[in-house]
Amino acid sequence: MSKVVVCGALGRMGMVIGGIVSESPDMDLVGGVDVKEGSFYGVPVAAAERMGAFLDDVRPDVIIDFTIAAAAVGNIRAASERGIALVVGTTGFSPDQQEEIRTAVEGHVPAVISSNFSVGVNLFWALIREAARRVPPDYDIEVTEAHHRYKQDAPSGTATTILDILDAERGPHTRVYGREGIAPRGDEIGVHVVRGGDIVGDHTVMFAGNHEVLELSHRAYDRAVFARGAVRAAGWVVGKEPGIYSMNDVLGLQ
Ligand SMILES: NC(=O)C1=CN([C@@H]2O[C@H](COP(=O)(O)OP(=O)(O)OC[C@H]3O[C@@H](n4cnc5c(N)ncnc54)[C@H](O)[C@@H]3O)[C@@H](O)[C@H]2O)C=CC1
Ligand SMILES: O=C(O)C1=N[C@H](C(=O)O)C[C@H](O)C1
């Protein structure tokens, strides 16, 4: 039975994750952490400022973090200092923050870190990699993502992962974020961000050649797809060797 703490407990993702953990027969939801204290699913939510004391009190096996980048870095450090395994879904990390996370995790604790925990998006990334290898080099690439009006970071973590996959397979390209005015196309990848309403998360990669367009898309209809993946990762990561793992490791995908 793994003891679980959810950071960002009272947020959109935290609430869905807490519900799934509380109903999991092999998991024990021992609490949450958020900016203000409260409760969820019958367990306490500690205020972020007393997170260290709370962790020392409830002693979780794993922390699931869906907060904001600046907060997540501190939460990861707090978990690492206590030998607690991690699942991190927070997005929007700067290169410096990514380096801080790597230093805190490697050699200390096991952590599954992914910009998207849905099974569909992990397959989508594999399909994009395959397409990027096969599509002729002269085809133009445009990446579009759409999310709800409250999303803070842009482009999404999932879109950033897509851009990293495209760079890895086709060589680094300049990223042009939107276009305006006279904006002739160069050898670039266009990146387009839409924010509105309650869109859960849509991503499309377009490969445009002469007289034809190949598009790969993923659309999430419910946050449960991310939450179920994160809870699955939490069950998997406890007891693993220290290091950073991906959802491919959890799902057994290449
Ligand atoms: N990897 C994935 O599959 C997914 C990742 N995300 C990412 O998860 C993050 C959270 O997304 P949402 O739940 O929609 O946001 P949200 O704004 O609804 O929730 C974030 C919560 O974190 C809390 N928080 C802020 N600072 C904190 C701290 N120091 N300690 C503890 N809690 C703190 C906020 O008060 C809030 O309740 C974002 O970075 C988002 O991009 C969201 C969905 C799926
Ligand atoms: O903030 C969100 O909502 C989401 N964030 C993740 C991202 O930035 O890619 C994953 C998902 O698309 C929903």
DSSP letters, the chain, are -EEEEEETTTSHHHHHHHHHHHT-TTEEEEEEEESS-EEETTEEEEEGGGHHHHHHHH--SEEEE-S-HHHHHHHHHHHHHTT-EEEE------HHHHHHHHHHHTTT-EEEE-S---HHHHHHHHHHHHHHHHS-TTSEEEEEEEE-TT--SSS-HHHHHHHHHHHHHH---EEEES--SS----SEEEEEEEE-TT--EEEEEEEEETTEEEEEEEEES-THHHHHHHHHHHHHHTTPPSEEE-HHHHHT--
ipTM of the predicted structure? 0.99
Nearest CA to ligand 2 atom 13: 201
Render pLDDT for 240-251 as a digit per residue (tens, 0 to 9): 999 999 999 999
Tell me the one-letter amino acid at 136: P
Residues 6 or more apart from 8 whose CB is under 8 A from it?
Answer: 14, 33, 34, 65, 66, 67, 68, 71, 90
Residue 151 catalytic? yes
Record the pTM: 0.97
Cβ–ligand 2 distance for 157 under 6 Å, the answer: yes
Domains of the chain: which residue ranges? 2-113+223-251, 119-220
Return the ligand 1 atom nearest residue 92 CA: 39
Pocket of ligand 1 (CB under 6 A): 7-8, 10-14, 33-35, 48, 66-68, 71, 89-92, 114-117, 153, 157, 226
Cβ–ligand 2 distance for 156 under 6 Å, the answer: yes
Among 3, 36, 108, 147, which one carries the catalytic annotation?
A: 147
Residues 6 or more apart from 132 whose CB is under 8 A from it?
Answer: 165, 166, 169, 170
Decide whether 2-113+223-251 matches 119-220 in CATH topology: no
Binding-site entries for NAD(+)? 8-13, 34, 89-91, 114-117
Among 151, 211, 218, 240, which one carries the catalytic annotation?
A: 151
All residue ranges of the chain with pLDDT < 50 are none
In words, the CATH class of domain 2-113+223-251 is alpha beta
What is the fold of 119-220?
Dihydrodipicolinate Reductase; domain 2 (3.30.360)
| CB distance 20 to 13 below 8 Å | no
Q: Which of 91, 148, 200 to mutate to test the pocket of ligand 1 (most atoms within 8 A of CB)?
A: 91
Q: Note the pLDDT of residue 253.
A: 84
Cβ–ligand 2 distance for 160 under 6 Å, the answer: no
Residue 147 catalytic? yes
Cα 253 to ligand 2 centre (Å): 21
Residue 101 C-beta-side C-alpha neighbours within 13 Å: 28
